[in-house]
Copies of this chain bind each other. A is one copy, B any other.
Amino acid sequence: MALRNVILGFLEEPASGYDIKQSFEHSLSHIWAAESSQIYGTLRAMEKEGLLASETEKSNRGPDRRVYRRTLQGDKALEEWLAGDPELSPERLSVLCQIHFLSRARDPRKTTVFLERVRDSFIERLREYEALRAEEGKAKEGTVDVFFDTLALDLGLKTLQARIEWCEEALSRLAALDGADPANA
C-alpha cells in the first residue's frame, strides 16, 4: 500500500508515470526507487479504484503522456495516510541474519573480518547520504526549508552513524576477546 500513498503524495500537481519516476529519483532516492513498470501498473489500478483520474496529452517530445491527478477520494486517502499511525515496517536486515549465524560459530577471526566489511559498507553509504545532505543544505541555506527537507535524510544519517559505532564497539570487544582467550582461535 505504501507505493499508492507515495504516488498520492507526489501528485500535488498533475503528473505522468514518467514524471513520478523522476520524482522518486530526485526527492526520495535514498528511501525508495520504484521501477517504472510498477509505477505504471499501480497508476492504472489507482484510477480503477477511483483515487486518480487521467487524461492523455500530447508530448512535445516523444509519445503521448497520460497525465494523472488526484480525485477528491484521492485527496482524502492521502490526508488519512498522513494523519494515520506511523508505519514502522519491520526491518529484516539480511546482514543481521548473516551476523547471527556467523556468531554461532564462535569464531572471533571470521566475525572480525565480516564486521569490518559491514562497517566499511555503512561508511560508504554514509558518504553518499552526506553528499545528498550537502546538496540540500547548499540549495536552501539558512531557510526554514532546510529543516523540513532534510528531516528524513537526517534520520538515515543518524542511523548509519549509530551502526558504524556499533561495528567499532563490537570490533574492539572482539579484539579484547581474542587477546584474552587465544584458545578460541
- Measured CB to CB, the residues of A under 8 A from B are 2, 5-6, 9, 12, 27-28, 31-32, 78, 81-83, 85-104, 106, 110-111, 114, 117-118, 121-122, 125, 144-145, 147-149, 151-152, 154-156, 158-159, 161-163, 165-166, 170, 173-174, 177, 181, 184
Contacts and interface: CB of A to CB of B under 8 A. Distances in A.
Contact of A2 (B27, B97, B99): B97
A116 to B, nearest CB: 10
> Which 9 pairs, one residue from A and one from B, show the smallest C-beta to C-beta distance?
A162-B162, A87-B94, A9-B101, A103-B148, A86-B118, A158-B166, A96-B152, A86-B95, A2-B94
**Tally of this chain's copies:** 2
A129 to B, nearest CB: 11
Given A28-B100, A89-B92, A144 B181 contact: yes
A32 to B, nearest CB: 5
Contact of A162 (B88, B121, B145, B159): B159
A98 B114 contact: no
Given A82-B110, A88-B118, A158-B162, 4 more contacts: A5-B97, A78-B101, A88-B122, A88-B125
A114 B96 contact: no
A151 B5 contact: no
A104 B12 contact: yes
A121 B88 contact: yes
A151 B92 contact: no
Given A162-B158, A163-B158, A93 B31 contact: yes
A95 B114 CA distance: 30
A110 B151 CA distance: 14
A155 B89 contact: no
Nearest to A149: B103
